[in-house]
Structure 1
Amino acid sequence: MKNNSVAVVLLLLAAGVHSFGFDELTRYVDTHKEEYVQALREWVAVESDSSDITKRSELHRMMELVVEKLQHLGGKVEMVDIGMQELPDGSTVALPKVVTAEFGSNVSDVTVCVYGHVDVQPAQKEDGWSTDPYNLTDINGNLYGRGASDNKAPVLAWIHAVEAYQALKIDLPVNVKFIIEGMEETGSNGLAAMIEAQKDTFFSDVDYIIISDCGWLSSRPALTYGTRGNCYFLAEVEGPKQDLHSGVHGGTVIEPMTDLIGILDTMISPDGSILIPGIMDAVSAFSHDEWRFYQDIEFDMDSYRAKIGVDQLMYNNKTELLAHRWRYPTVSIHGIEGAFSAPGTKTVIPAKVTAKFSIRQVPDMDPAVVEKQVTDHLHSEFAKRKSPNKLKVRMVIGAKPWLADPKHPLYQAGKAAVKRAFNTEPDLIREGGTIPIARTFQDVTEKNIIMLPIGGFDDGLHSQNEKMSRYNYIEGTKLFIAYLHEVAQITKD
């Protein structure tokens, strides 16, 4: 374990512990950047969509490519079997194996573990892409392709960082381990059990865990120290035994859709306030230190508003807007299954409709408590309607939030690495989304974690025309090279 002393780190940095060949390493990166782009092109070409069972062979091939890349560096590489995935029809299919790798085994050195994933969200040209999503396309310095930013380029950048040290015969300043999975986009099936099983073996000598599955908030580099959790619900209202014609039966039955919309409307007010009793009780207070972080963050509200295409935002100042994006819970209604949504004018009264909604929760909220609060509230509001229809509410995802201490030496090292690579100070930010594996790592391994992103604020993750800029990819590789040096300055007992 570490003697986690910020003072020690700062003293080492002030003393000028800088001579590790950074200029030589960055020149190496610059002379190999076309090779790096080609590597990303080859990885993007693999349709590693973890949600599509018909592409499972592609996902297995993707993991083999990861193995080849890591074996080329001479590390100790393994493919860990994490079992089978049960499908809705009861059949099973093999989960993609998790790839682990180890470089260096000096017991006196810090050991970091880099986590990443190489599966992607679904993508088709017909979805509105300007280019073939599986053919990396370079336009004005942006590399367009599904998975380019989330998360294939960051994984490759870490591999390139290790390779640069090796190619120049510069000793890695730390021991480096990798854990790369292929099911992140569908919930990291099997990974938590694998981490639990290997906490006393693979993870036993790991000091810190690094995750680069996130992005910057603006053009300024960022260090991420928190993510929200996600409680995802299904609320089903069932009435007649079959769909009905609104002309024949409208006015004679209490319609499930009307009930459902009525109770959904009781969860959130027009100004964004959550109306579910008790939801806000466990939310941690907004500390003065955190408030100060928000003042220094580079964020242009007008640009953000224009980018997402709205005339008005929920809040009119930066701090309040970012706080509600990152560190306060929110309710979002995502869709209604069973409702008529196809083109045309079908006059149907659906017999059964199911709302899909989520609550992004924050420290110190507990998903089990949120589940009870939501369920009790919806049943209470439904009872007030005195409807003969039936309501069922269930929570299908209960991912916990994650929060780190931005004053930890990991973040001091991050600041020093950003300063070295980009000659600027980083923003300290939180993520509004959910990265469940961070909390799993924290709870199971009890290791400290940093999120060190290189993705751009406009990369379009999960959307059409996802991209990674050449600048972020290449300069991000240099950032990772610098971080390996800076984190080595944290002393060990």
Structure 2
Amino acid sequence: MAPQLDGYFSKVDELSSHFIDRLSKAVAIPSISSEAARRPDVVRMGEWLQTELKALGAEVEMRPLGKQPDHPELDLPPVVLARYGRDKSKRTILVYGHYDDGRMFGRGSTDDKGPVLGWLNAIEAHQKAGVDFPVNLLMCFEGMEEYGSEGLEELIEKEGKGYFADADAVCISDNYWLGTEKPCLTYGLRGCNYYSVEISGPGADLHSGVFGGTAQEPMTDLVRVLGSLVDTHGKIQIPGIMEQVAAVTADEESLYDNISFTMDNLHESLGSKTTIFEDKKPTLMARWRYPSLSVHGVEGAFSAPGAKTVIPAKVIGKFSIRTVPDMDIDQTNECVYKFHTGKWWVASPNHWNFRAAGKAVERVWGVQPDFTREGGSIPVTLTFEQATGKNVLLLPMGSSTDGAHSINEKLDKKNYIEGIKLLGAYLHYVAEEQQI
């Protein structure tokens, strides 16, 4: 099947240096969405993408999103909307990615500039190989993903039956392999409910030498509250949370047996052996299909080096719950104070969109992919599914050791170049796959 892929693959190999140079130029733009001073660089990155897409013959528009809610003096970076091909006899695939980096300088190679450029590279390699592009491509690339995708949800909901109306399926490449050796297709994500607990007492900060032992201390009470949420084995202590979780079926449990993952993979990522479980299956289930509660930090407390004996007047503790099927946001928020939420997502891995991706993985990597879920959250996944009514696939390019969100983030050359082949092959198999 798809014999024309041989010419496409050869052209990708031939153009590999050019594609690496394109990624180098993109990573060199410090498009850090979380830093106000870097907002012009984020916009510049979007404009650079627009130029690259137009040079490939795509129809491109920069869609403004208005002002940033928490910084009304700042414009949100525009969303790059693009269309490549209008052949009504072909399927249309909508792809999403983001062109901003996170907080650490040097980021962006694997999350998410490499995968975004993978789509551009796939177009160019088809053109230069003289191979007909197998589908119509709709593209939605945003510049605020690392800062919460502000403004994007409204755009997707508005354009679900507008700009995105003729999409037959959606593909997102913004996650990673489970390990370093075997590709995977992702069909589920945990959601994320984010909470804050504020405790205040005295009208101002106090000196512990004068007031210690005589006044109720907010920090002491906050530590007690946070410590009561979850035990040291990760078990959530809030009543009503675990009772909502969907029961494990025998079919679901069997999916974990053959997944290419060892505890050594996790120990390497942790840099230690401080895991809760000793075996693969309970570890993966804890990461993917059971909720977890994590305490993230305390605002208002002394945290600098050295000693300080002030009793803080007010402290805010922050924690989140990663949610899973069949947890209900409102029901969960009846148990804890609501601050921010993002719903869990699960798709059918038997859809033609996933079957096409599986065939592409076998063609490029020579193995059948693992079907995985993720412990993290990509809220835009559910937004695309609900707005378009179409199947959404997560098709990762990078591996588990890429260090996304870190100063040493990387994308292996093999994953990048073979990933370009994978994206193109996926589109060819999408064009062929029968709808069942």
TM-score after normalising by structure 1: 0.86
SS at match of 1:178: strand
Give me the whole-angstrom Cα distance separating, in 2, the residues matched to 1:106 and 1:176. 10
Q: What do residues 432-452 of structure 1 show as CA deviations (whole Å, max 9, x unaligned)?
A: 111010011111211110000
Question: Does the CA-based 8 Å contact 2:343-2:379 persist in structure 1?
Answer: yes
Does residue 115 (structure 1) correspond to residue 96 (structure 2)? The answer is yes
Does residue 102 (structure 1) correspond to residue 64 (structure 2)? The answer is no
AA partner of residue 169 (structure 1) = G
Q: What do residues 397-416 of structure 1 show as CA deviations (whole Å, max 9, x unaligned)?
A: 21111111112221111111
Question: Does the CA-based 8 Å contact 2:197-2:316 persist in structure 1?
Answer: yes
CA 1:238–1:55: 2 relative to 1, 3 Å? same
Match of 1:56 among 39, 48, 51: 39
Q: Spell out the pairing of 1:73-152 with structure 2 (5 A cutoff).
A: 73-88=56-71, 91-124=72-105, 133=106, 146-152=107-113
Does residue 468 (structure 1) correspond to residue 430 (structure 2)? The answer is no
Instruction: Provide the residue aligned with 1:392 in structure 2.
Output: none
Gap runs ≥5 in structure 2: none
AA partner of residue 15 (structure 2) = H
Give me the whole-angstrom Cα distance separating, in 2, the residues matched to 1:203 and 1:284. 32
Once the two structures are TM-superposed, the CA of residue 490 in structure 1 deviates from its matched residue by: 2.8
Gap runs ≥5 in structure 1: 1-16, 125-132, 134-145, 376-394
Match of 2:196 among 219, 223, 234: 234
Instruction: Provide the residue aligned with 1:205 in structure 2.
Output: 166
SS at match of 1:101: strand
Instruction: Provide the residue aligned with 2:228 in structure 1.
Output: 266
Question: Does the CA-based 8 Å contact 1:26-1:478 persist in structure 2?
Answer: yes
Match of 2:295 among 313, 323, 333: 333
Does residue 309 (structure 1) correspond to residue 271 (structure 2)? The answer is yes
Match of 2:129 among 161, 165, 168: 168
Give me the whole-angstrom Cα distance separating, in 1, the residues matched to 2:211 and 2:51. 63
Give me the whole-angstrom Cα distance separating, in 2, the residues matched to 1:79 and 1:475. 30
Q: Spell out the pairing of 1:2-81 with structure 2 (5 A cutoff).
A: 17-19=1-3, 21-81=4-64
Does residue 486 (structure 1) correspond to residue 429 (structure 2)? The answer is yes
SS at match of 1:457: coil
Question: Does the CA-based 8 Å contact 1:224-1:428 persist in structure 2?
Answer: yes
Instruction: Provide the residue aligned with 1:406 in structure 2.
Output: 349
Instruction: Provide the residue aligned with 1:365 in structure 2.
Output: 327
Give me the whole-angstrom Cα distance separating, in 2, the residues matched to 1:484 and 1:311. 41
Q: What do residues 91-123 of structure 1 show as CA deviations (whole Å, max 9, x unaligned)?
A: 332111111111111222111011000101112
Instruction: Provide the residue aligned with 1:431 in structure 2.
Output: 374
Does residue 157 (structure 1) correspond to residue 118 (structure 2)? The answer is yes
Question: Does the CA-based 8 Å contact 2:352-2:435 persist in structure 1?
Answer: no
Give me the whole-angstrom Cα distance separating, in 2, the residues matched to 1:195 and 1:318. 38
Instruction: Provide the residue aligned with 1:186 in structure 2.
Output: 147
Does residue 216 (structure 1) correspond to residue 197 (structure 2)? The answer is no
Question: Does the CA-based 8 Å contact 1:212-1:453 persist in structure 2?
Answer: yes
AA partner of residue 402 (structure 2) = D
Instruction: Provide the residue aligned with 1:389 in structure 2.
Output: none
Give me the whole-angstrom Cα distance separating, in 1, the residues matched to 2:228 and 2:190. 23
Does residue 295 (structure 1) correspond to residue 294 (structure 2)? The answer is no
SS at match of 1:276: coil
Q: What do residues 242-270 of structure 1 show as CA deviations (whole Å, max 9, x unaligned)?
A: 11111111110111111111111111122
Once the two structures are TM-superposed, the CA of residue 492 in structure 1 deviates from its matched residue by: 6.2
AA partner of residue 117 (structure 1) = H
SS at match of 1:488: helix
Question: Does the CA-based 8 Å contact 1:86-1:92 persist in structure 2?
Answer: no
Q: Which moved more, 1:91-100 or 1:437-446?
A: 91-100
Question: Does the CA-based 8 Å contact 1:329-1:362 persist in structure 2?
Answer: yes
Give me the whole-angstrom Cα distance separating, in 2, the residues matched to 1:398 and 1:83. 22
Q: What do residues 264-312 of structure 1 show as CA deviations (whole Å, max 9, x unaligned)?
A: 1111122211110110122112222222221111111023213312233
CA 1:432–1:492: 2 relative to 1, 3 Å? closer
Once the two structures are TM-superposed, the CA of residue 169 in structure 1 deviates from its matched residue by: 2.3
Identity %: 45
AA partner of residue 302 (structure 2) = F
Structure 1 stretches of 4+ with a deviation exceeding 6 A read none
SS at match of 1:295: coil
Give me the whole-angstrom Cα distance separating, in 1, the residues matched to 2:91 and 2:417. 25
Give me the whole-angstrom Cα distance separating, in 1, the residues matched to 2:230 and 2:78. 42
Give me the whole-angstrom Cα distance separating, in 2, the residues matched to 1:173 and 1:311. 47
Give me the whole-angstrom Cα distance separating, in 2, the residues matched to 1:414 and 1:334. 36
SS at match of 1:281: helix
Q: CA RMSD in A?
A: 1.3
Give me the whole-angstrom Cα distance separating, in 1, the residues matched to 2:286 and 2:435. 38
Question: Does the CA-based 8 Å contact 2:170-2:393 persist in structure 1?
Answer: yes
Q: Spell out the pairing of 1:381-460 with structure 2 (5 A cutoff).
A: 395-460=338-403
Question: Does the CA-based 8 Å contact 1:236-1:354 persist in structure 2?
Answer: yes
Q: What do residues 203-253 of structure 1 show as CA deviations (whole Å, max 9, x unaligned)?
A: 111000000000001120010111111101110000001111111111101
AA partner of residue 395 (structure 2) = L
Give me the whole-angstrom Cα distance separating, in 2, the residues matched to 1:43 and 1:177. 21
TM-score after normalising by structure 2: 0.97
Q: Which moved more, 1:192-201 or 1:333-342?
A: 192-201
Query: How many residues are paired up?
Result: 435
Q: What do residues 116-157 of structure 1 show as CA deviations (whole Å, max 9, x unaligned)?
A: 001011124xxxxxxxx2xxxxxxxxxxxx100000000101
Give me the whole-angstrom Cα distance separating, in 2, the residues matched to 1:308 and 1:214. 18
Give me the whole-angstrom Cα distance separating, in 1, the residues matched to 2:398 and 2:435. 31
AA partner of residue 400 (structure 1) = K
